[in-house]
Structure 1
Amino acid sequence: MSTEDKFDALFKALGHRARRRILDLIKDGPQTTGALCALLTDLDRCTVMQHLSVLEKAGLVVVERRGRERWNHLDALPIHDVQKRWIGPYAAHAMTMLADIEGLAEPEAYSVETHDNSPA
């Protein structure tokens, strides 16, 4: 699967509120499929399983089978990849722009604060 296909699967998985709810439920620790079904009372077991399948294909859920139980673990690495590719660089650029705007809006305050080291 290409990198772009992986991102497509990731954004598809994150695009549905039920799947985001599932991720919220497993972020603090793994949950069995049965426990997730009990917590997601508005969804039937088949629907929960379908959402888990989409999350697994996107690499966000890792399944561990223990006997008859299926434990669902969060793998946040794909979300970290999104942060590295888009959020981090855009946030850094936005912070630079805000600093530039602040410097233009308050040049005297900037000048006094950074260059005037004399006691008051």
Structure 2
Amino acid sequence: MATYKLEIYKRPLEAIISGVKKVEIRTNNSYEKIRYEQLNKGDLIQFQIISGPPFIGLDIIEPDALTVEVVDVRRYNDAGELLDNEGMQVLSTLSNTKEEGIELLNSFHEYKKMIPIHGIFAIEIAPLT
């Protein structure tokens, strides 16, 4: 079992705490050390709150805000495949259609460039109580 520190905005973190958000969507990128294909069931993620959105850097405003356990990790080739398999609920209320969802995911910092290289990961999580 490994423990990873990941940055997150306050609003999605609140959705995880409330139980609305059960899947975190990520891709490998140039600004995080973690490689998502190495995540395993039972690993822990310590979320650190960063300022934003929009993406303005990784300045942590609240370290160790929440620890969650990884329940499962599923890799997809692209955002469309992820939404087909995971459902639109993984985007909460941010998008109404699959096309909007793909556009949203590709708008995240570096996602459009990195998804074709690394894929996109649906990380099913459960808060530790």
Report if TM-score (shorter chain) is over 0.5: no
Name the structure with the higher strand share: 2
Name the structure with the higher helix share: 1
TM-score of the aligned structures, taking structure 1 as reference length: 0.29
Structure scoring higher RCO (CA < 8 A, sep ≥ 6) equals 2
TM-score of the aligned structures, taking structure 2 as reference length: 0.28
